């Protein structure tokens, strides 16, 4: 995987322009640590929805995109309970997925999307990226990085 290319599509323009360490990233673990250390990726539990934490992370990322010159509309926070929800297609969703689908739909109008990566456990890492980068990131795959939008799961 070309981690430098992946980071270019995940980070804002100003974040990527200040990037020096990317050329040293050569494995999944280092890439994940880099993104976590810079608060670019949020890791939450699939069944432990902390709506306030998810909203706080998304709001922080929206500020970064806004600083880059993107016009961002305000989104309203939600804090789902620990119950399961039904999707518009009447599929049963854990609260975290419901929350991420809600925010993904809200971000679409600003040209942004939530992008998840699959893990072999109950953790759910997610990012906020420009909509134009979703297809390219979805094609980048390793044993760890398998990007998809919340409605594809």
Q: CB within 8 A of 72, min separation 6: which ones? A: 62, 65, 66, 110, 112
Span 79-83, average pLDDT: 61
Number of independent structural domains in the chain: 1
3-state secondary structure 26-52: CCHHHHHHHHHHCCCCEEEECCCCCHH
Is pLDDT of 76 > 90?
Answer: no
At 40 the pLDDT is 94
Per cent of the chain over pLDDT 90 is 31
User: How much is the pTM?
Assistant: 0.85
10: confidence class by pLDDT, cuts 50, 70, 90: very high
DSSP for residue 82:
S
* Domain extent at residue 109: 3-152
Written as six digits, the tokens of 127 are 């990012």
In 3D space, the residue among 43, 42, 47 whose CA is nearest the CA of residue 59 turns out to be 42
Mean pLDDT score of the chain: 83
Asked which of 67-71, 72-76, 78-82 is least confident by mean pLDDT, the reply is 78-82
80: confidence class by pLDDT, cuts 50, 70, 90: low
Compute the distance between CA of residue 30 and CA of residue 22 in angstroms, rounded to an integer: 10
């Amino acid at each position: 995987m070309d981690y430098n290319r992946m980071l270019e599509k995940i980070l804002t323009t100003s974040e990527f322009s200040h990037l020096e360490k990317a050329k040293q990233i050569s494995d999944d673990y280092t890439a994940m640590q880099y993104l976590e250390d810079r608060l670019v990726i949020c890791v939450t539990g699939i069944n432990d929805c902390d709506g306030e934490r998810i909203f706080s992370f998304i709001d922080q990322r929206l500020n970064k995109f806004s600083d880059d010159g993107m016009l961002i509309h305000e989104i309203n926070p939600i804090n789902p309970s620990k119950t399961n929800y039904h999707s518009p297609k009447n599929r049963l969703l854990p609260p975290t997925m419901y929350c991420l689908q809600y925010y993904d739909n809200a971000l679409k109008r600003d040209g942004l999307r939530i992008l998840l990566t699959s893990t072999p456990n109950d953790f759910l890492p997610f990012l906020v990226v420009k909509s134009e980068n979703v297809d390219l990131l979805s094609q980048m795959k390793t044993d760890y990085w398998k990007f998809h939008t919340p409605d594809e799961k």
